[in-house]
A and B are shown apart, each in its own frame.
Chain A
Amino acid sequence: EVVLTQSPGTLSLSPGERATLSCRASQSVGGNYLAWYQQKPGQAPRLLIYGASKRATGISVRFSGSGSGTDFTLTISRLEPEDFAVYHCQQYGNSPITFGQGTRLEIK
């Protein structure tokens, strides 16, 4: 199976700063079918990015995804207070579907 490794495990930043989250796959992700989800405490994950770089409906333009093959990045251009959460990457191009272990984005 494709193992996804997210880094860093925890990212401490201030509102207004730029956040860069990494997701590295153990093998090439088929079709670049890589998604990013945001999860707040006590809530279900919310889809942010699919197909590596496409924003889901209603997602702010501050969120952008990039990458291909084995290396993918989620960038949040200017952090707002509501952006502090856990972010998960997922690949759905290879069976079985797998998730990364998550990156916690916390307020510095």
Chain B
Amino acid sequence: QVQLQESGPRLVKPSGTLALTCAVSGGSISSSNWWSWVRQPPGKGLEYIGDIYHSGSSDYNPSLKSRVTMLVDKSKDQFSLILTSVTAADTAVYYCVRWAGDDAFDIWGQGTMVTVSS
């Protein structure tokens, strides 16, 4: 059973860089799936950030594209999110998710709360 686990700093300073990693266990990141990030500000809805394939091919939400980079590390079965120039509006629970193509977002990490504050 594939499981996902997010890790990274819980507190980031304004104008700084948010960096999170998602570890894939119980399966390979090189399977035929896309690996995604979704965030949820406190008390609000879900926002798609982007996704990456094991080849390194990626797609980002245009609303965040200028500040987002996603990377994949096949040797460690991990993928990462980098978000630059953060503000308080980036405070949210960040989820890593497996996008199983036609089968939608079928496996979610537990989520990690990241706060942007000085």
Contact = CB atoms under 8 A, between A and B. Distances in A.
Interface of A: 1, 31, 33, 35, 37, 43-47, 50-51, 56, 88, 90, 92, 95-102
27 contacts: A1-B62, A31-B102, A33-B102, A33-B104, A35-B104, A35-B105, A44-B108, A44-B111, A45-B46, A45-B95, A45-B105, A45-B108, A47-B105, A50-B104, A51-B103, A56-B103, A56-B104, A56-B106, A88-B46, A90-B104, A92-B99, A95-B59, A96-B48, A99-B47, A99-B48, A101-B45, A102-B46
Contacts of B61: 96-97
B14 interface: no
B53 to A, nearest CB: 14
B7 interface: no
Interface of B: 36, 45-48, 59, 61-63, 95, 99, 102-106, 108-111
Nearest to A44: B108
B16 to A, nearest CB: 25
A96 B105 contact: no
Contacts of B99: 92
Contacts of A102: 45-46
Give the most central of B45, B61, B104, B110: most A CB within 10 Å. B104
Contacts of B102: 31, 33, 50-51
A45 B95 CA distance: 9
Contacts of B48: 96-99
Given A90-B104, A92-B104, A95-B59, A44 B95 contact: yes
